[in-house]
Each structure stands twice: as C-alpha cells, then as structure tokens.
Amino acid sequence: MIELAGLTKRFGSKTAVDDLSFQVRPGVVTGFLGPNGAGKSTTMRMMLDLDNPTSGSVRIDGRHYRDLDEPLKYIGALLDAKSMHGGRSAYNNLLCLAQSNRIPERRVAEVLDTVGLTAVAKKKSKGFSLGMGQRLGIASALLGDPEILMFDEPVNGLDPEGIHWIRNLMKALAAEGRTIFVSSHLMSEMALTADHLIVIGQGRLLADTSMADFIRQNSRSFVRLRSPQWEHLLDVLARNGITVTQTADGALEVDNGRIERLGELAAQHQIVLHELSGQQASLEEAFMQMTAGSVEYHAHSDTGHGPPPAPAANWGESYRAKAQGPAGNVTAERSASDGEGV
Amino acid sequence: MTTPYQQQAPGAPLGTYTSPIPVRPASLGDALASEWTKIRSVRSTMWTLGVLILLVLGIGLLAAVAVNASDAHMGDTPLLSLGFYGVLLGSICVITLGVLTIASEYGTGMIRTTLTACPSRARILAAKSVVFFLLSFVIVTLCTGLVAMLQMGMVSSAEQPTGSQLFKATIGVSLYVSTLGLLSLAVGALIRHSAGAITVMIGVVLLPLVLALFMFAPSLEGVRQALFEYSIPSQLAVFYGSSVSDSGPTGWTPLLILGAVTAAALGGAFAALNSRDV
C-alpha cells in the first residue's frame, strides 16, 4: 500500500505536482495516466525519495522510503531504461544491487532468466537495445521479490511480443497479491492491463476510479448511417423524434441508437443506406477529453479541442477533418451535446 | 474511492504478499560489498590503476637508472625522492578514479538505482569512500614500496634511507595521495560531472604552483611563498624529505591539512546529496 498525502513539488515558479493525494492498493494493477509532462515521473521519483517534495508526504506501508530497511525487498522500481552503468555487465549491475540489500546472489540469475536476458548476462549493458535495457530495468525491480512494484512507462521500446509479456507479467504479479503501480501516457495500453486508474494532468488529480467505471462512464456508443438520400433520412428520423448529428464527411450519427430500429425505419421509407454500423468511441478519446485542458505540451495547430463548429459550416470540409489530429476526434465532440436515445 | 471491480485472485487476501527473502536492517557492510563489486566491474578502474602502476614504477626506475648511469653524486638529496615524479604524475590517475567512483553514476543514471537500493546517503558516501580509499592506498603502497626497494638496491652513490624516511616515502605518500583521491571523490559528488570534477582537481594540484611562478612583484612575496609551500606537489615532496623551503609545513602536517580539507569537502558532499533531488 502506497499513500500520497497532499504531495506537492515546485521547480521555481512551476508547479509540477500539485496537492496530489491518492492510495495505491495491493492486489491490483493501478494505472497512472497522464499526458507528457503531467508530473507522473516526478511523482514516482518522490515516491522513491529521489526528489524531495515541496510539501506533503509519501508513505509505504506507513513508513517513509528512507526508513525502509532493505528497500528492494519492499519496492522494486523501473524508472527508465538508462539507470544502469553501461560499462558494467548486466550480471554485475544486478549483483551490486543485490549485495546492497543482502539478496542472495542466485536471485540475479533467476531474474535474468525471468526477463530473458540470460544469454547476454555477461555483456556490457551499454550495447543493449532500448527493449533489452527495459528488460534489465524490470529485472532489477524484481530482484528483491518485493511486495510493491513500480513501472514508469514499461512498454517503451518493447516489441509486440515484449509488450504482451510485460502485460501478462504485471497481471501475474498482481494476482500474487502484490501492489502494482504502472504509469503510461497511452490509455489503450492501460485499458488492457490496469484494474484501477489514476489520471493526472498538470500535476493535479483528475480521476481516481476503477477501470470498469471509467469505461462505463466514458465510452460513448452511437450508430453511424450514410445514405445518398440523407435529406430524406433526416426528415424521417426527425419525425420519429430521433436526434441526429451530421459529421464532417456527410455521415449521420445517432447517439445510443438501436441499430435494428434505425434499419427498419430506413426500410419502411425505402431509403438506400450505404452504411449502418454500431460504433464505440475509444477510451483514448475519453482520456483526451478529460486531459484536454491540462496538456502541457501542445502541438499547435488550429484544431485540437476547441468548441465544436456549427454543423452547417462543415459541409465540404471533409478534407480538413482528415487533416486534423487523432482520427475520428471531430465527430465525437460534435455530438457530445445530444444524448437522446431512440 | 470506488473499486467494485478488482481482479483479485480468489482466496488471496489483500496485501498479503511479502518478500520471501528475510529483511534485516541494512548495514554498512552490505554497501561496502556492493561498492566493491561496482569498482571492480568497470574498465575505467583497471585503466586508471594500470596507468598509475606504470607511471610510479616506470618513472621511479628510470630515475634510478639515470642517476646510476651518470655517476653523479646525489649529495644531500634523499635517495627515495627519486620516486617523487612518478607519484606526482600517478596522482592524476588517483584523482580520476576518485572522481569517477561517484560522478560516473551521475553520468550514467546509475545513481538513481543506487539510491533506490540504499536510500541512506551517508551510507553510500561512506561505502564509496572506504572502498576507494583502501583500494587506492593498497595499490600506491605496493608501488611505492617496490620502487623504494629497487632504488635502494640500484643506487649506490647515495646514503641509504633511515626507517622513518622509508616509512614516510611509502605509507606516508600513499596516505597523502589516497586522501587527495578522496577529496576528488567529494568534489565529484558535489559537481556530478566527471570531466568537470577532474578539471577542477587538476587545477587544485597545479594552479598554486603556476600562479606562484608569475608573482614577480615584491609586495606579493608572502603570497608567493605560501602558494609554493602549500601547493600539493610541494606538500607531497615533504614526505620525501625534499621540501622546497625551510619554513613550510614539515613532518606529517601536510597530511593533516589535506585531511581537514577532505573532511570538510566530504561533509559538503553529504549535505548536498542529502538535500538535492537526484
């Protein structure tokens, strides 16, 4: 169990972490999510007593990190792949860590085997690829067989097989009753691994919720229709009290619409449909909307998350929609106002 | 907070996992073992110590051979002072190793891992200092001892050194050079940058002598004299009984002065490590 209470960190006039309070509970994978520069790494460094908080505190099982006797047996952390001496072999890098916490030397070979680096154990770690460095960092986190594991962006630089492996590893470790705290800036990655979610933006807590709740609250489902007789279709839908949104590329969207009913309506009125499909807004979208106001480093374009443009102004601008940021983002925002079902 | 949804293995109560490896209070001994593994497992240690051995032995022997061949009489000059130049150059290697012992951890990012494994800054600094000092002391003692024996055997035109002279030219010199390395370690911890810290230390060794060379004005005579007497090469020469003047520090005083400076620098390094973000 990790507890943060009013944790704050200022660098000069810039507040990196702002009055952050939450708990990381055992037995689950807790995802720590935020855009780049949100203060995730700073928070994790303060948890490990590498950075001193401006105010507030972090307690690990009720104790300060500095008061832990042999910390690697409580907490294993992967901070970034380059936290090793490149001139030293993978084996010796782990051996000196093991010795400092009186961990038996056989654990070094064991964890190297776990992460699949046995073959390069005697190689200098500076020759390692990003993925191999990441595995070595994970090995160092597992060294003391600790109760709590912290991973900062663990999938960075891993190949698909490696990503799959780390996901399963985290789930297996959590199932043993360990506390897993993992940061990421990718919602899609978190959706696959985390049970609980902590979202921060500009150092502030934005959400502290279970993954299931987050999905329930934030995934919008809608039905997408395309028709050459779209004006006729609009009439029919309006007469039936169905609220419709037009998207930039000429399609119609019905929020929480029942796909069967819409198909039947079109058939009744002999309207040709080119598309009738159920859609789900992605979690990535929900995450981006949540953190939209707190993104630290914007790529400046005239798009982003401004107020939705009026529907009529959008005709013929489909090229522009394609040029905009993450795909499909425009439609989701425009229809955010109408929540009426069929 | 709401967590209706927890992927908990059935039957496993919350938070029961504890490391099967028994936890005991960490001690300095563990940190020493760890630091010993670190210092012996990087190539820069082998390089700096290898060059050190080469310089001390090589120059010491060359000097002895040269004196023998020229048939010159050494007169009052103590025999063992032939070893001085090798040790002076070799001290650059000790400085480099001292700086690298800690500054390379900042360069590679290893320091974060180190301090995560051992959050006590005092223990880390102490362990690094002890391991480095002992390693340096043993190597320099072996080299200076060997050079002294060979010089005593080879050069016949000078008086054989007394026991006390021999002791100071081996153990005394080794203590002095290793303390200088310890000062470098403290400077490395303060500056956190290998090249910068090595440059500062070479400046500390050379600058007073170079400055003194250019102080021609009579009004600066006092400063000039002090710079000469208290510069590190002159103080090192005291251990060989060949100091530059009669008024400067004598006996074991140079070691006390350097020891005090080093202790202060280590204190500063500890305070910095303790308060700084890594």
Is there a contact between B15 and A96 if contact means CB atoms under 8 Å apart? no
Unique residue bearing structure tokens 């910068």: B196
pLDDT of B67 > 80? The answer is yes
Measure in Å the smallest separation between the Cα of B181 and chain A Cα atoms: 21
Helix pair B221-230, B194-213: axis angle to 10 deg: 130
The segment with the largest mean pLDDT, out of A144-148, A188-192, B127-131, B245-249, is: B127-131
Residue B170 amino acid letter: T
Which one of A85, A103, A170, A178 would you mutate to disrupt binding with B, by most B Cβ within 10 Å of its Cβ?
A85
- For residue A157, the model assigns a pLDDT of 80
Question: Is B19 an 8 Å CB contact of chain A?
Answer: yes
Three-class SS state of A71: helix
| DSSP-assigned beta bridge partners for residue B237 | none
HSE value, Cβ hemisphere, 13 Å, CA-based, for B61: 9
pLDDT level of residue B78 (50, 70, 90 thresholds): confident
DSSP string of A204-248?
A: EEEEEEEHHHHHHHH--EEEEEE-TTHHHHHHHHHHTT---EE-T
pTM for the model stands at 0.83
Question: Is B45 an 8 Å CB contact of chain A?
Answer: no
HSE value, Cβ hemisphere, 13 Å, CA-based, for A277: 7
Question: Is B38 an 8 Å CB contact of chain A?
Answer: yes
- Span A286-309, average pLDDT: 62
Determine which of A30-44, A236-250, B37-51 has the lowest per-residue pLDDT on average.
A236-250
* Structure ipTM: 0.87
Three-class SS state of B151: helix
Residue A207 in tokens: 């959400």
Share of chain B above pLDDT 70, in %: 92
- For residue A97, the model assigns a pLDDT of 95
pLDDT of A27 > 90? The answer is no
Mean residue pLDDT of chain A comes to 83
pLDDT of A170 > 80? The answer is yes
CA distances from A200 to A2, A38, A85, A208, B100 (A): 17, 6, 32, 9, 38
Distance CA A340, CA A241 (A): 9
Question: Is B10 an 8 Å CB contact of chain A?
Answer: no
Which one of B2, B7, B128 would you mutate to disrupt binding with A, by most A Cβ within 10 Å of its Cβ?
B7
First to last CA, chain A: 46
Cα R_g (chain B), whole angstroms: 24
A49-108 pLDDT per residue, tens: 999 999 999 999 899 999 998 999 999 999 876 788 989 999 999 999 999 999 999 999
- Span A149-156, average pLDDT: 91
What is the bridge-based pairing of β-strands A148-152 and A179-184?
Answer: parallel
Distance CA B66, CA B216 (A): 34
Residue B123 in tokens: 């223990």
Separation of CA A153 from chain center: 9
A208 to chain B: closest CA residue: B1
Question: Is B274 an 8 Å CB contact of chain A?
Answer: no
Distance CA B262, CA A142 (A): 38
pLDDT of B5 > 60? The answer is no
- Contact indicator for A259, A288 with CB cutoff of 8 Å: no
B112-137 pLDDT per residue, tens: 999 999 999 999 999 999 999 999 99
Residues in chain A: 342
Residue A46 in tokens: 């303060």
pLDDT level of residue B243 (50, 70, 90 thresholds): low
- Span A236-260, average pLDDT: 87
Give the nearest partner residue to B24 out of A25, A69, A77, using CB atoms.
A69
Distance CA A288, CA A291 (A): 5
A178 to chain B: closest CA residue: B17
Beta strands in chain A (DSSP E): 2-11, 14-24, 29-33, 55-60, 75-78, 148-152, 179-184, 196-201, 204-210, 221-226, 245-246, 252-255, 275-280
Measure in Å the smallest separation between the Cα of A229 and chain B Cα atoms: 46
What is the bridge-based pairing of β-strands A2-11 and A75-78?
Answer: unpaired
Touching A: B residues 120-149, CB under 8 Å: 120
Is there a contact between B24 and A102 if contact means CB atoms under 8 Å apart? yes
B16 to chain A: closest CA residue: A177
Q: Which residue has the higher pLDDT, A270 or A293?
A: A270
pLDDT level of residue B16 (50, 70, 90 thresholds): low
Is there a contact between B2 and A210 if contact means CB atoms under 8 Å apart? yes
Helix pair B84-108, B194-213: axis angle to 10 deg: 150
pLDDT of B13 > 50? The answer is no
- Contact indicator for A124, A86 with CB cutoff of 8 Å: yes
- Smallest CA-to-CA distance from A38 within A181, A185, A201, A152 is with A201
Distance CA B95, CA B206 (A): 13
Give B33's contacts (C-beta < 8 A, 6+ positions apart).
A99, A100
Unique residue bearing structure tokens 């072996």: B142
- Ordered strands of the A2-11 beta sheet: A14-24, A2-11, A55-60
- For residue B244, the model assigns a pLDDT of 60
Measure in Å the smallest separation between the Cα of A122 and chain B Cα atoms: 11
pLDDT level of residue A300 (50, 70, 90 thresholds): low
- For residue A192, the model assigns a pLDDT of 84
- Contact indicator for A265, A240 with CB cutoff of 8 Å: yes
- For residue A75, the model assigns a pLDDT of 93
Residue A19 amino acid letter: D
Separation of CA A35 from chain center: 9
pLDDT of A183 > 60? The answer is yes
Give the nearest partner residue to B38 out of A71, A82, A96, using CB atoms.
A96
pLDDT level of residue A256 (50, 70, 90 thresholds): confident
- Smallest CA-to-CA distance from A131 within A106, A157, A161 is with A157
B136-192 pLDDT per residue, tens: 999 999 999 999 999 999 887 778 888 999 999 999 999 999 999 999 999 999 999
- Smallest CA-to-CA distance from A205 within A17, A70, A1, A14 is with A17
Share of chain A above pLDDT 90, in %: 49
- Contact indicator for B70, B156 with CB cutoff of 8 Å: no
